[in-house]
């Protein structure tokens, strides 16, 4: 193992499903630097803003360094004994279904494999589900309905070889940035047409040929209309349909009844008929068409139908299994695919085998030599937490996911975690979920652990360790095996490292597999430990016999009993909960450019936080007017499930009647700004995936009476505030505070945040009317330790200068000390403004200045400032700044 390596280690980015290769190096002082791996086929040397900042996420701030029982640090022995004995006792008393695991697409394949094996083969329950339930479950269910197995036929080259790429329910520019860059490069070379289907005008929609801003949840209607159109105009591949599919006539009949004309589709989707026609004609005319889909499709009460409505169009035209064609579900998490391969979903067994075939169950039982194999699917995430809440599940182990934030109806999930008899959490850092744990197990993080992940195009890559494990943390596979051993299953979990686990996983994929399961990596089952260490990225299948298939589904044969793919007749249906008089706005939730999920890592990196430093809800101008909301107001948002507060941004990119809130904000970073408590737990009937993209809410303005800003070296969690959020900066944190109390009460409340011990060194000022308050504290050396400013809304002085002082440990000069309470620098300082390009830390003011000096294109602004010249995710924002300047110039 390469601990503290001075040379570069080839590993893989732990964020999105693009699965970029990373070269990481640890310096003697522990500082980690990263760059894109030029030899990795996913990214060929590039990294996006999140990947490029990985070196800034490996610090110890917030890390869990030792096991804890009831909040008290303890030894591994004691913690593991307790976990094993409590699980064993619970199973003995209440049966195997009284225990459960909730795991994650961010675990490595080896971690995932042993967790699944323990629960399904040895504890004997199907109760292991994963956060992929919130993410990929509808795609899995749709693929299984259409193809008979969870097959993703697409590869990244398809996006480069297509003439038309349809991006539906995907904000590729922000969520799969490197893949988006590859697409844009191909477009520059060959003129690829891009259609974006998304109710919002996203950064992805900013660079396309046609944006269809459909009403939320109307995708089935749109794609049914497309299928009906293809049948009507005769763009159906009859040979393919009759040789390789079934269900064509029924699917077309259903689609035609649902969507008889583009006009009907246009009315139902809330878009112009000419745009519908343009899309249909483009698709009909373009042989090489790829349809990429992600959470706008999956996270819906009809997500599986949406997937099949899309797949139907590709099957009808035979545009699948060939270069530049195909439906392409892009995965979110780094190892969402690996999790599906090992069978981490409660309704899958292992290695693409399921509970619906008794032969599969028997086969897996024999392979594992399992004493008590599960014979039935377990509880899916939403049902699982309900069962935890009502006491059916009494012992729960959560690994690598933060359900207190990311589950829908998160308020109820938190109550369930609180009520759970015995809760074990394995994580890398403190989170809103770890707060509820009876036993907390410190897991080794990225850079410290070894294993494999599979990306969106089925490519397996190695993650490799390049730094020593922090504190007493251990890799997840080892923790699971240690517990299994203590539960009496030692023989089956006697692995000496991830390579041994991987070999077993590979062998299972090939076990009695004579072509029935396309997931076959049997050729890797005989790897030595050295082979495994050197494993270069490769796509599955890697079958034991024969050469690896270059392309899946190329022969028109599918892993169904009759070898045919199935078109599925689907009909458009409404969302699970419709908007109405009490909750008139459809709330959509999703991702911001520089944040990863619940911000446990990206939220600690100043340059990643500075593009969107506060929780913001975007609403359409008409809705803002109706509610009397303006930019910068504090909004109170409530659904039937819970509430949140966020700053308002009025945006023309938002459809009237809808709003967008990022999914990221947890209790570690803001008061009540999470999407989880608002989101609906209603699920798709086939996949069990919740409708995270649609929940009816009402929004009103909070009467904010005071605002404040605390600049401090300390990381604290304020309590008692109506609203706060925090942002990391060099040297500490900046807290934005506000409230609806009177200003003097606001001052009292805010002052409590100043550490008591600093009181002597505190200089303070309160104005005569008691409306504004300013305070600053210096450390022993005379450098700024913290500063607090409180004032009525709109009257806070700028805090940029105070923030810049925090980063320096230099004692303040007399003039600076004098100026502290004004908040203003004694000498003018350039303010770069909110960061737009986080790769090169370029602020909005610098870009505006470059535009003002005559740079009027992305290229010239990039040449002058470097903004937008690396990962490209900020290019649409730069384009907007240029366009705004043009508009102003024209006025
Ligand atoms: N920056 C960043 N990148 C990430 C992640 C991250 O946290 N941050 N997470 C990763 C993960 S796990 C995932 S799953 C992926 C998700 O990647 P994406 O699915 O691309 O991202 P989202 O923002 O969740 O949702 C995509 C879009 O669906 C749209 N949408 C909402 N409702 C509908 C609808 O009814 N129909 C259609 N057609 N569209 C709709 C939303 O407006 C949104 O723009 O991103 C991955 N990449
Ligand atoms: N409202 C709304 N909710 C959503 C979504 C949405 O669009 N809207 N999207 C959903 C989707 S697609 C997803 S994927 C989920 C993501 O939701 P989560 O999985 O809850 O989000 P993360 O913040 O990625 O949580 C991962 C946790 O694992 C820890 N961790 C990282 N590496 C390791 C490791 O190696 N071992 C262990 N043991 N722990 C580790 C991290 O510190 C972190 O606490 O959110 C879902 N929730
Ligand atoms: S696109 Fe960015 S986040 Fe995704 S794998 Fe590549 S570097 Fe990581
Ligand atoms: Mo996801």
Residue 564 lies in a domain: no
> Ligand 1, atom 12: nearest CA belongs to which residue?
332
645 lies in the same domain as 728: no
As a whole number, the mean pLDDT across the chain is: 95
- List pLDDT tens digits, range 599-651: 999 999 999 998 899 999 999 999 999 999 999 999 999 999 999 999 999 99
Distance CA 594, CA 612 (A): 8
341 lies in the same domain as 464: yes
pLDDT score at 106? 96
- List pLDDT tens digits, range 175-225: 999 999 999 999 999 999 999 999 999 999 999 999 999 999 999 999 999
Give the contacts of 531 (CB within 8 A, at least 6 positions apart).
none
Ligand showing the shortest atom-to-Cα distance for residue 674? 2
Instruction: Please compute, for residue 70, the number of CA atoms within 13 A of its CA located in the half-sphere on the CB side.
Output: 3
When pLDDT is cut at 50, 70 and 90, the band that residue 82 belongs to is very high
Number of domains in the chain: 6
316 lies in the same domain as 382: no
636 lies in the same domain as 743: no
Q: What angle do CA 360, 365, 367 make, to 5 degrees?
A: 95
Range of the domain at 345: 68-136+335-495
Structure tokens at 802: 């105070």
Q: Where does a domain end: 308, 329, 350?
A: 329
Ligand showing the shortest atom-to-Cα distance for residue 661? 2
Query: Residue 92 sits in a domain of what CATH number?
Result: 3.40.50.740
Average pLDDT rounded to a whole number, residues 719-735? 96
When pLDDT is cut at 50, 70 and 90, the band that residue 3 belongs to is very low
What atom of ligand 3 comes closest to residue 13's alpha carbon? 8
810 lies in the same domain as 839: no
pLDDT score at 757? 54
When pLDDT is cut at 50, 70 and 90, the band that residue 755 belongs to is confident
Average pLDDT rounded to a whole number, residues 760-766? 81
When pLDDT is cut at 50, 70 and 90, the band that residue 6 belongs to is low
Residue 560 lies in a domain: no
pLDDT score at 2? 42
Residue 168 lies in a domain: yes
Tell whether the model's pLDDT for residue 52 goes beyond 90: yes
The answer to whether the CB of 595 is under 6 A from ligand 2 is no
Distance CA 456, CA 9 (A): 23
Instruction: Please compute, for residue 244, the number of CA atoms within 13 A of its CA located in the half-sphere on the CB side.
Output: 24
Strands 762-766 and 732-739: unpaired
Residue 194 lies in a domain: yes
- Mapping DSSP to helix (H, G, I), strand (E, B) and coil, where does residue 871 land? coil
Give the contacts of 361 (CB within 8 A, at least 6 positions apart).
349, 353, 355, 373, 375
The answer to whether the CB of 208 is under 6 A from ligand 3 is no
- Residues above pLDDT 70, as percent of the chain: 98
Angle between helices 381-389 and 410-419 (to 10 degrees): 50
One DSSP character per residue, 193-218 reads EEEEE-SS--TTGGG-SEEE-PPTT-
pLDDT score at 1? 40
One DSSP character per residue, 446-492 reads TTT--EEEE-TTSEEEEE---SPPPTT-B-HHHHHHHHHIIIIIGGG
304 lies in the same domain as 430: no
Residue 91 lies in a domain: yes
Distances 492 to 127, 483, 565, 757, 851 between C-alpha atoms, Å: 19, 12, 37, 55, 64
Distance 590 CA to ligand 1 centre (A): 5
Q: Is 48 left (phi over 0), alpha (psi -120 to 50) or beta?
A: beta
What atom of ligand 1 comes closest to residue 216's alpha carbon? 35
pLDDT score at 883? 86
707 φ, ψ to 5°?
A: -135, 155
Q: Where does a domain end: 694, 717, 751?
A: 694
The answer to whether the CB of 54 is under 6 A from ligand 3 is no
The length of the chain in residues reads 891
Instruction: Please compute, for residue 709, the number of CA atoms within 13 A of its CA located in the half-sphere on the CB side.
Output: 18
Average pLDDT rounded to a whole number, residues 775-784? 90
What atom of ligand 2 comes closest to residue 678's alpha carbon? 1
414 φ, ψ to 5°?
A: -65, -40
What atom of ligand 1 comes closest to residue 295's alpha carbon? 19
- List pLDDT tens digits, range 491-533: 999 999 999 999 999 999 999 998 889 999 999 999 999 999 9
Nearest to 136 by CA among 299, 245, 1: 299
Distance 156 CA to ligand 1 centre (A): 18
Helices marked H in 259-371: 262-269, 273-285, 295-298, 303-316, 336-342, 358-368
What atom of ligand 1 comes closest to residue 171's alpha carbon? 20
- Strand ranges (DSSP E) for 494-609? 538-539, 565-566, 585-590
Nearest to 493 by CA among 118, 125, 124: 118
Distance 170 CA to ligand 2 centre (A): 18
Please identify every residue whose CB atom is under 5 Å from ligand 4, which is an ion.
Answer: 135, 332
Tell whether the model's pLDDT for residue 386 goes beyond 90: yes
Residue 788: beta bridge partners?
710, 775
165 lies in the same domain as 268: yes
pLDDT score at 761? 73
Tell whether the model's pLDDT for residue 396 goes beyond 50: yes
Residue 539 lies in a domain: no
Distance 107 CA to ligand 4 centre (A): 13
Nearest to 251 by CA among 317, 185, 201: 317
Average pLDDT rounded to a whole number, residues 677-691? 98
Distance 334 CA to ligand 3 centre (A): 9
Strands 762-766 and 773-778: antiparallel
47 lies in the same domain as 120: no
Residue 536 lies in a domain: no
Q: To test ligand 3's pocket by mutation, which of 177, 180, 334, 455 has the most ligand atoms within 8 angstroms of CB? A: 177
Distances 533 to 14, 21, 297, 447 between C-alpha atoms, Å: 18, 15, 37, 15
Tell whether the model's pLDDT for residue 709 goes beyond 60: yes
Distances 697 to 114, 584, 738 between C-alpha atoms, Å: 41, 6, 23
Distances 244 to 71, 256, 317, 368 between C-alpha atoms, Å: 59, 22, 11, 35
> Ligand 2, atom 11: nearest CA belongs to which residue?
135
Distance 296 CA to ligand 1 centre (A): 6
Average pLDDT rounded to a whole number, residues 722-735? 96
Pocket residues for ligand 1 (CB within 6 Å)?
16, 135, 168-171, 174-175, 197-200, 202, 216-217, 219, 294-296, 332-333, 588, 590-591, 593, 595-597, 693
Average pLDDT rounded to a whole number, residues 412-436? 98
- Mapping DSSP to helix (H, G, I), strand (E, B) and coil, where does residue 765 land? strand
Query: Residue 24 sits in a domain of what CATH number?
Result: 3.30.200.210
- Which residue in this structure is represented by tokens 């938190």? 414
Q: What angle do CA 75, 77, 80 make, to 5 degrees?
A: 105
Nearest to 749 by CA among 706, 797, 802, 798: 706
298 lies in the same domain as 391: no
Query: Residue 846 sits in a domain of what CATH number?
Result: 1.10.10.1100
- List pLDDT tens digits, range 18-27: 999 999 999 9
230 lies in the same domain as 313: yes
When pLDDT is cut at 50, 70 and 90, the band that residue 361 belongs to is very high
Distance 307 CA to ligand 1 centre (A): 15
Residue 31 lies in a domain: yes
- Mapping DSSP to helix (H, G, I), strand (E, B) and coil, where does residue 70 land? coil
Helix (H) or strand (E) holding 128: strand 128-130
When pLDDT is cut at 50, 70 and 90, the band that residue 802 belongs to is very high
- List pLDDT tens digits, range 97-124: 999 999 999 999 999 999 999 999 999 9
Distance 497 CA to ligand 3 centre (A): 27
Distance 669 CA to ligand 1 centre (A): 21
Q: Where does a domain end: 309, 329, 349?
A: 329
Residues 676, 663: contact at Cβ < 8 Å? yes
Higher pLDDT, 580 or 548: 580
145 lies in the same domain as 128: no
Average pLDDT rounded to a whole number, residues 1-19? 81
342 lies in the same domain as 437: yes
Which of the 8 DSSP states describes residue 181? H
What atom of ligand 2 comes closest to residue 589's alpha carbon? 8
Distance 298 CA to ligand 4 centre (A): 10
The answer to whether the CB of 104 is under 6 A from ligand 2 is yes
Residues 321, 333: contact at Cβ < 8 Å? no
Query: Residue 640 sits in a domain of what CATH number?
Result: 2.40.40.20
When pLDDT is cut at 50, 70 and 90, the band that residue 4 belongs to is very low
Residues 27, 576: contact at Cβ < 8 Å? no
Distance CA 663, CA 642 (A): 14
Ligand showing the shortest atom-to-Cα distance for residue 333? 1
The answer to whether the CB of 178 is under 6 A from ligand 3 is yes
pLDDT score at 551? 86
Distance CA 202, CA 168 (A): 12
Distance 412 CA to ligand 1 centre (A): 24
């Amino acid at each position: 193992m390469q601990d503290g390596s001075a040379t570069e280690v080839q590993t893989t980015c732990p964020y999105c499903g693009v699965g970029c290769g990373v070269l990481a190096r640890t310096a003697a002082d522990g500082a980690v630097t990263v760059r894109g791996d030029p030899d990795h086929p996913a990214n060929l040397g590039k990294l996006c803003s999140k990947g490029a900042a990985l070196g800034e996420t490996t610090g110890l701030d917030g890390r869990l360094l030792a096991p804890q029982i009831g909040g008290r640090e303890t030894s591994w022995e004691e913690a593991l004994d307790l976990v094993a004995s409590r699980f064993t006792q619970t199973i003995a008393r209440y049966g195997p279904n009284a225990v459960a695991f909730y795991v994650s697409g961010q675990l490595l394949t080896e971690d995932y494999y042993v967790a699944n094996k323990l629960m399904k083969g040895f504890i004997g329950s199907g109760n292991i589900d994963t956060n992929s339930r919130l993410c990929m479950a509808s795609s899995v269910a749709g693929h299984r309905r259409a193809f008979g197995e969870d097959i993703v036929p697409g590869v990244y080259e398809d996006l480069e070889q297509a003439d038309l790429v349809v991006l539906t329910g995907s904000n590729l520019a922000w969520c799969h940035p490197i893949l988006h860059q590859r697409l844009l490069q191909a477009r520059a070379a060959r003129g690829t047409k891009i259609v974006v289907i998304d109710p919002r005008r996203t950064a992805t929609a900013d660079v396309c040929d046609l944006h269809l801003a459909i009403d939320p949840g109307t995708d089935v209607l749109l794609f049914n209309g497309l299928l009906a159109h293809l049948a009507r105009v005769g763009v159906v591949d009859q040979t393919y349909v009759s040789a390789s599919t079934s269900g064509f006539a029924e699917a077309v009949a259903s689609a035609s009844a649902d969507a008889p004309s583009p006009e009907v589709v246009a009315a139902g989707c809330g878009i112009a008929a000419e745009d519908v026609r343009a899309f249909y004609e483009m698709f009909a005319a373009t042989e090489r068409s790829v349809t990429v889909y992600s959470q706008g499709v999956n996270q819906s009460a009809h997500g599986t139908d949406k997937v099949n409505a899309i797949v139907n169009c590709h099957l009808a035209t035979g545009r699948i299994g060939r270069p530049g064609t195909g439906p392409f579900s892009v995965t979110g998490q780094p190892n969402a695919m690996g999790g599906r391969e090992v069978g981490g979903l409660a309704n899958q067994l292992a290695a693409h085998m399921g509970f619906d075939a008794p032969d599969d169950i028997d086969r897996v039982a024999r392979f594992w030599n399992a004493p008590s194999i599960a014979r039935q699917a377990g509880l899916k995430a939403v049902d699982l937490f309900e069962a935890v809440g009502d006491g059916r599940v009494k012992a729960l182990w959560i690994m690598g996911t933060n359900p207190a934030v990311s589950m829908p109806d998160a308020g109820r999930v938190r109550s369930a975690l609180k009520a759970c008899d015995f809760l074990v959490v394995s994580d890398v850092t403190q989170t809103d979920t770890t707060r509820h744990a009876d036993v907390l197990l410190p897991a080794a993080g990225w850079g410290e652990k070894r294993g494999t992940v599979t990306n969106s195009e089925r490519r397996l890559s190695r993650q490799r360790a390049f730094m020593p494990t922090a504190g007493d943390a251990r890799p997840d596979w080892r923790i699971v095996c240690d517990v299994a051993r203590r539960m009496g299953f030692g023989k089956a979990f006697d692995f000496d490292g991830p390579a041994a686990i991987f070999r077993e996983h590979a062998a299972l994929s090939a076990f009695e597999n004579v072509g029935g399961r396309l997931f076959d990596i049997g050729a890797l089952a005989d790897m030595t430990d050295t082979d495994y260490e050197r494993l270069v990225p490769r796509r599955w299948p890697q079958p034991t016999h024969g050469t690896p298939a270059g392309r899946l589904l190329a022969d028109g044969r599918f892993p169904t009993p009759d070898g045919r793919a199935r078109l599925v007749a689907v009909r458009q249906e409404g969302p699970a909960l419709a908007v109405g008089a009490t909750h008139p706005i459809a709330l959509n939730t999703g991702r911001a450019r520089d944040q990863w999920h619940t911000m446990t890592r990206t939220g600690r990196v100043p340059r990643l936080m500075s593009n969107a430093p506060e929780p913001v809800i975007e609403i359409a101008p008409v809705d803002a007017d109706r509610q009397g909301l303006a930019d910068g107001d504090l909004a109170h948002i409530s659904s039937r499930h819970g509430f949140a507060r966020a700053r308002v941004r009025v945006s023309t990119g938002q459809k009237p009647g809808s709003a967008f809130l990022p999914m990221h904000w947890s209790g570690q970073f803001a008061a009540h700004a999470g999407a989880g408590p608002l989101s609906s737990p209603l699920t798709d009937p086939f996949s069990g995936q919740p409708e995270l993209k649609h929940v009816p809410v009402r929004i009103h303005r909070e009467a904010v009476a005071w605002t404040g800003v605390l600049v401090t070296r300390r990381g604290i969690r304020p309590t008692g505030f109506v609203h706060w959020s925090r942002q990391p900066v060099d040297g500490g944190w900046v807290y934005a505070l506000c409230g609806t109390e009177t200003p003097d009460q606001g001052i009292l409340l805010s002052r409590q945040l100043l550490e008591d011990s600093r009181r002597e060194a505190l200089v303070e000022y309160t104005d005569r009317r008691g409306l504004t308050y300013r305070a600053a504290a210096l450390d022993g050396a005379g450098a700024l330790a913290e500063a607090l400013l409180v004032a009525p809304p709109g009257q806070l002085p700028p805090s940029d200068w105070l923030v810049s002082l925090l980063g320096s440990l230099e004692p303040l000069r007399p003039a600076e000390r004098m100026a502290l309470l004004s908040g203003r620098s004694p000498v003018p300082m350039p303010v770069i403004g909110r960061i737009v390009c986080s790769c090169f830390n370029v602020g909005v003011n610098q870009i505006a200045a470059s535009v003002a000096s005559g740079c009027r294109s992305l290229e010239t602004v990039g040449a002058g400032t470097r903004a937008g010249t690396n990962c490209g995710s900020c290019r649409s924002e730069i384009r907007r700044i240029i366009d705004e300047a043009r508009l102003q110039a024209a006025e």
